[in-house]
Amino acid sequence: MGPALPTRQLVLLSAVGLAIFFGIWTGAAWLELAPRRFLPMPWDVIDRAFKLTETRFSGQTLQGHLVISVERYLRGFILAVLVGVPLGLLMGWYRWLDYIVTPVFDALRFVAPIAWVPFAALWFGTGIGGPTMIIFAGAFPPCLINAYRGARYVETRYIEAAQTLGASGLRVVREVLLPASLPSIIAGLRISAGAGWQSLIGAELIAANAGVGLMMVRGQAALDTSIVMVGMIAVGLIGLLIDVALRGAETWIKAKQGH
Amino acid sequence: MRALTFLLLESGAGMTGADSGKTRLVVGGATIAGLIAAWYIASTTGAIPKLDFPSPEQFVAAARQVVVEPGFADGLLFDHLLHSVKIILLGFFAATAIGVPLGLWMGWSRTAEALINPIFLLIRPIPALAWIPLAIVWLGLDDAAKVMVLWFAAFVPSVINSYTGVRSIDRPIIEASRMLGIGRMAVITDVIVPGALPSIFTGLRLSLQGCLTALVAAELLGAILGLGKVLYQAGLDIYPAMILVGMVAVALTGFVLTALLDVVESRSMPWRKR
């Protein structure tokens, strides 16, 4: 690989890349390779996004659907973090817990989170509970794995020092393992946040009474591609925001711990 | 994934000596056996309502119904399985055959990176499952729509990890190979690809997982055959035993496909110690 490109060339090439992408899209729509409702112009999508913020579609405006989705998401994600991280840390310390949880976890790991949808709908309905369970199923494993790994890789001398000074098991977990494995935990949260967000969209597409996923499915049923695309863009943007926020937290913690 | 299993097995053994692996096996086996016993007792005493979760007998009966005869959701389990695996492999190979070379090229050439990266950054944040409605509008409920969704699910991780793989190769190795005068093609086949291979396989594993998830979701939204169809129909009929059979089938499929990829991985990199 060559040296880094000069900024001017980089900007130019990036602009060319984007121009090719939007050029092909607009060109294909202009040539009417597909009817406009199937292949809208880029500005049709923007226009539709603005209209959706004013008029309701499937019971909510665009921002209404987004608020519902984000609320469900936070519920499931926070639940996964609150269960997964402590459990992972404790498994890193108490070997018997590790022995008990690991085989169960390994057996469940290969079930794709989205395959829980029928049970989730049966047990918790399609309002808040069902989708929350799917988000949990998607976000829980990375939380647990990274907290466990982080706790396992803590240097023994820190643990020994704490024990010499008379710290109990739970205190070691809370005051040594937790801070020492924070970077690994945050890295796990980033993976889990992405997995949870994707699971939420899946759950809302299949079984939900509101939310941005439902908006997309209704748009699909109405054969209105621009609504579907607005949904995709909104989902992508929120996913990006979540990741940027967690990346910020990651940098902050690393700086604070002096890495 | 294998790294996790490795970690779980090895780190315990390292801490207490040789017989802790055995303890792990015994405690683990006892836990699973205990859970199955608890399941049996709870469902026969009615502690778990039959409408929420099946009893072991119902599970076996449902498994027999779909595996042997008369089938469920328009087919035997084998038909559903074959159909799902076919689509997974189609989507997986179609995506990685483009994604891996593209990622390698972006890692290798700064110009290619500058040109392609902005487009890739637009596609990357969109979760694979969010492509499903678009795929259905464009291609209907056919297999083609599913392949399109799986393509996006597998494409993104294969590009990212191939790219990272090239970028993680030590510069001096590339420079040394050039200084020793090997040709451009040889740099790619003998230095870049082998150097990036561990990362490429990380990507392929993520791609495979993504394909499985995306396929189940796409089939839950509408399919003629497939494991997701089994889950969908079982959910619609409120048939908990069949839901469980479907989930077990999905998990086993994921397990077998990942194991196959592991075999390919260790065959492709014989120089790596396991």
Alpha carbon of B157: minimum distance to chain A alpha carbons (Å) = 13
Instruction: Specify the number of domains making up chain B.
Output: 2
Option in B126, B129, B133 nearest A219 (CB) = B133
Listed ranges A137-141, A153-157, B171-175; the one with the highest mean pLDDT: A137-141
Nearest to B52 among A1, A99, A123 (CB): A123
Q: Is A223 on the interface with B (CB under 8 A)?
A: yes
d(CA B112, CA A13): 9
Same domain assignment for residues B43 and B65: no
Pair (B230, B202) in one structural domain: yes
* Range with the largest mean pLDDT of A36-45, A157-166, B191-200, B265-274: B191-200
Domain, as residue range, for B12: 1-48
Same domain, B101 and B132: yes
Of B12, B24, B212, the CB nearest to A112: B212
- Averaged confidence pLDDT in chain B: 85
CA-wise closest residue to B228 among B123, B127, B157, B150: B150
Chain centroid offset of residue B102 CA: 21
Residues B233, B98 within the same domain? yes
Gap between the Cα atoms of A218 and A211, Å rounded: 11
Average pLDDT over all residues of chain A: 87
Residue B71 lies in a domain: yes
Above 90 in pLDDT, residue B24? Answer: no
Q: For residues B66 and B95, give the distance between their C-alpha atoms in angstroms, rounded to a whole number.
A: 32
Asked if residue B203 belongs to a domain, the reply is yes
Mean pLDDT, to the nearest integer, of B167-190?
Answer: 83
Residues B42 and B174 in one domain: no
B3 touches chain A (CB under 8 A): no
Question: In the prediction, which pLDDT does B224 show?
Answer: 84
| Residues B31 and B154 both lie in one domain | no
What is the share, in percent, of chain A residues with pLDDT greater than 70? 98
Q: What is the pLDDT of residues B54-77, one digit of tens each?
A: 888 888 888 888 888 787 877 888
Helix or strand or coil: residue A60? strand
Same domain, B127 and B226: yes
A216, two tokens: 């997309």
- Radius of gyration, CA atoms only, chain A: 23
DSSP alpha helices (H): ranges in chain B?
2-16, 20-44, 56-67, 77-108, 110-123, 132-139, 143-167, 171-179, 184-186, 193-220, 227-236, 240-268
> Which residues 121-160 of B have a C-beta within 8 angstroms of A?
122, 125-134, 136-138
Is B274 part of a structural domain of the chain? no
The answer to the question of residue B273 being in a domain is no
Identify whether residues B70 and B145 lie together within a single domain: yes
In this structure, are B39 and B134 located in the same domain? Answer: no
Distance from CA of A257 to the nearest CA of B (A): 26
B17 lies in a domain?
Answer: yes
Yes or no: say if A86 and A181 are a contact pair by the CB < 8 Å rule: no
- Smallest Cβ–Cβ distance between A112 and the set B29, B235, B254 belongs to B254
Which residues from B are below 8 Å from A118, CB to CB? 231-232, 234-235, 243, 246
Highest mean pLDDT among A42-51, B35-44, B71-80, B97-106: B97-106
Residue B237 lies in a domain: yes
Residue B6, chain A, CB below 8 Å: the answer is no
Within an 8 Å CB–CB cutoff, is residue A106 touching chain B?
yes
Q: Please indicate, yes or no, whether residues B136 and B220 belong to a single structural domain of this protein.
A: yes
**Nearest residue on chain A to B126, alpha-carbon basis:** A236
Query: What ipTM does this complex have?
Result: 0.86
Q: What is the pLDDT of residue B7?
A: 43
Which pLDDT belongs to residue B15? Answer: 44
Contacts with A255 (C-beta within 8 Å, 6 or more apart), sequence order: none
Give pLDDT, residue B242.
Answer: 92
Does residue A230 register a pLDDT over 90?
yes
CB contacts of B111 in chain A (<8 Å) are: 5, 13
Q: Which residue from A minimizes the CA distance to B172?
A: A1
**Cβ contacts of A115 on chain B, cutoff 8 Å:** 216, 231, 246-247, 250-251
Within-domain flag for B152: yes
CATH number for the domain including B86? 1.10.3720.10
B22 and B148 assigned to the same domain: no
Q: Which amino acid is at B160?
A: I
- Residue A241: what pLDDT? 93
pLDDT in tens, A90-137: 998 888 888 888 888 888 888 888 999 999 988 988 878 888 999 999
Question: Looking at the predicted structure, is the pLDDT value of residue B13 above 50?
Answer: no
Alpha-carbon distance A80 to A132, whole Å?
Answer: 10
- Segment 155-174 of chain A within 8 Å of chain B by CB: none
What's the pTM?
0.86
Same domain, B162 and B216: yes
Cis status of the peptide bond prior to B70, with omega within 30 of 0: yes
Q: Is residue B142 part of a domain?
A: yes
* CB atoms A17 and B116 under 8 Å: yes
